[in-house]
A = this chain, B = another copy of it.
Amino acid sequence: MKEYEHIETFNPKECLSGQISRINRLTATIFRKYISPFKVTNSQLTLLFILSKHNTLNQMQLSTIAKLEKSSLHRNIKRLVDSNYVSKADFPLLQLTNDGKKLVNTIIPEWEKAMTEIREIIGTEGESSIHQIHQNLISKT
């Protein structure tokens, strides 16, 4: 029988979605190792990092910067507000609380360690490739 002819000839290992997802899971695990002792997640830290460089942002701005769907962003922020790292005092503007700033400042050295560990695995070329791919996706999407 010559059914399923595509299956025989295709190469699923090429799948960019599969490869990128695996890259994401493996690198996330490394970052988590350094970050989780602070009781914050990788995604949460990304948002705290963005907020640490902007005085105030509304949800739409944050979702555009983080490339996160607005409903995902909404719930991530809710957790950060519940943990008292982000303030909605000036709603709809969001800003880091003092606790949030202190946490970011404290985590940065550990984050650097995670960055170093990843760089040792993917190399400087890997790092600049990621940057390039990221830029292309940001600008062409």
Contact = CB atoms under 8 A, between A and B. Distances in A.
Interface of A: 3-7, 10, 12, 14-28, 31, 42-43, 45-46, 49-50, 52-53, 66-68, 101-102, 104-105, 108-109, 111, 114-115, 118-119, 121-123, 125-127, 129-134, 136-138, 140-141
A5 B109 CA distance: 11
Q: How many copies does the complex hold?
A: 2
Nearest to A137: B26
A26 B137 CA distance: 7
* Best-buried of A3, A17, A26, A28 by chain B (most CB within 10 Å): A17
* Best-buried of A66, A118, A140 by chain B (most CB within 10 Å): A118
A7 B105 contact: yes
